[in-house]
Amino acid sequence: MSQRDARAYAEWVGSRLPSEAEWEFASRGGLEQQPFPWGAVREPDGTVRMNTFPGDFPDGPTGPVGTVPAASFAPNAYGLYNTTGNVWEWTSGVFGGSDGRPVLRGGSYMCHASYCRRYRTSARTAVTADTTLGHTGFRLALDAG
């Protein structure tokens, strides 16, 4: 799913991609200054709360590797699922100093503690708008009114 594809779909249904600020506000679920939508600890009480690479990256997966259905983990306080892990999500933001490349947020199932740790509410990366990857997706934003 490229950003161009996501934008085309959003326009087709009368919506849009969220800005980076909107995406992060929604991802945090009302929490501030916390790395995850549920707080400060990645796996509180040993409970897995997001879809990231299971086991030792990249050679020792201990479970399935790939996307999971939305309700596989508990939602955040705003009722949103998978705002960290699972798939990087396209935004309408542009990465500074990157020749206008659009921003992806939230990390994916390819992220792991020993590899990139980009599965936090503040995580961001950029690729070209026509890049398609198996671990990217999007959610839509609607204007009030």
Residues contacting 118, CB < 8 A, separation 6+: 107, 111, 125
pLDDT in tens, 52-93: 877 777 777 776 778 999 899 999 999 999 999 899 999 999
User: Of 70, 90, 81, which is closest to residue 9 (Cα–Cα)?
Assistant: 90
User: What's the mean per-residue pLDDT of the chain?
Assistant: 89
Please say whether the beta carbons of 120 and 50 come within 8 A: no
What's 1-41+49-145's CATH class?
alpha beta
Whether 37 has a pLDDT exceeding 70, the answer reads yes
The pTM of this model reads 0.89
In this prediction, residue 105 carries a pLDDT of 94
pLDDT above 70 (res 98): no
